[in-house]
Amino acid sequence: MTLRLYEIYIAGMEMDYKTILYAEEGAAATITLNRPEKLNSFTAEMHGELKLALDRVRTGGARALVLTGAGRGFCAGQDLGERAVTMRAGAEVDLSKTLSANYNPLILAIRALELPVIAAVNGVAAGAGANFALAADIVLAARSASFIQAFARLGLVPDAGGTYHLPRLVGHARGMGLAMLAEPLAAERAAEWGLIWKAVDDDKLMDEARALALKFAAGPTLGYARIKRALNASAGNTLAAQLALEAELQRECGHSADYREGVAAFLEKRPPSFTGR
């Protein structure tokens, strides 16, 4: 089977996931981490299923994605009981292997998705679970949720993009404090610090996330993808390089049907009807 045919086959299949849930409402997809009894901590199986689900989002018709967790937690990071990360007497464990095989591709896949990704953080987000949320484009959190860079409690360094995103989002001093102290940061404080977009009442979280996803799903997807590309490239670029990137991306957006529609709708004083192309 060619790769494209295989992708169509996968996208059309109803997958029988064990550790996540996958749902689509129109063009808005939702992936729910679903091991609530272990606060949705990551296992190798969950990584495999997340990869399949993200491939499905990437190759199917989705135009927005919500990431959330089942039960009272969002995600408690790596499942510390899993064989590969468990300390055994005399056994050497190479943690870089699980990062290279699972976490790093996961974070890069979320960042590379050409559509808006919303994290709806419904409860505690710890370790790689916190940094999984921070890889999203918009992070909403329930007021009762908290973010914990739990790694230092285990003698580890923040991974899954933590050392990249923390200082960029909250600055060096706060990033260092979060990483070194490994204390919970409440959702509201996280929003005040700029770690996340917004804290919302617990009972409103999923309604807000859904409304935002549906809004994005009816929006100019091609443009959103380029906003994402531009902002994500910014931290590593000079001003001149970033201006050149903006010009290149704006050239592409300028050729889009949505740009023509946006301008026409403005001039005709009506709401735009975007197709995402």
Contacts to ligand LHQ by CB under 6 A: 38-39, 41, 76-81, 85, 95, 98-99, 103, 124, 126-128, 148, 150-151, 153-154, 156, 159
- CB nearer to ligand LHQ: give 180 or 264: 180
Instruction: Compute the least distance from the CB of residue 96 to ligand LHQ, in Å.
Output: 9
- CB nearer to ligand LHQ: give 81 or 194: 81
**Bridging pattern class, strands 28-33 and 64-69:** parallel
Instruction: Compute the least distance from the CB of residue 221 to ligand LHQ, in Å.
Output: 31
Instruction: Compute the least distance from the CB of residue 99 to ligand LHQ, in Å.
Output: 6
**Separation CA 77–CA 54 (nearest Å):** 18
Beta-bridged to residue 145, according to DSSP, are: none
**Tokens matching residue 219:** 């929006």
- CB nearer to ligand LHQ: give 119 or 249: 119
Instruction: Compute the least distance from the CB of residue 73 to ligand LHQ, in Å.
Output: 7
> Is the C-alpha dihedral spanning 226, 229, 232, 234 positive or negative?
negative
- CB nearer to ligand LHQ: give 154 or 180: 154
- CB nearer to ligand LHQ: give 86 or 273: 86
- CB nearer to ligand LHQ: give 114 or 183: 183
Instruction: Compute the least distance from the CB of residue 158 to ligand LHQ, in Å.
Output: 8
3-class SS letters over the chain: CCHHHHHHHHHHCCCCCCCEEEEEECCEEEEEECCHHHCCCECHHHHHHHHHHHHHHHHCCCCEEEEEECCCEEECCECCCCHHHCCCCCCCCCHHHHHHHHHHHHHHHHHHCCCCEEEEECCEEECHHHHHHHCCCEEEEECCCEEECHHHHHCCCCCCCHHHHHHHHHCHHHHHHHHHHCCCEEHHHHHHHCCCCEEECHHHHHHHHHHHHHHHHCCCHHHHHHHHHHHHHHCCCCHHHHHHHHHHHHHHHHCCHHHHHHHHHHHCCCCCCCCCC
- CB nearer to ligand LHQ: give 22 or 147: 147
Instruction: Compute the least distance from the CB of residue 26 to ligand LHQ, in Å.
Output: 33
Instruction: Compute the least distance from the CB of residue 83 to ligand LHQ, in Å.
Output: 12
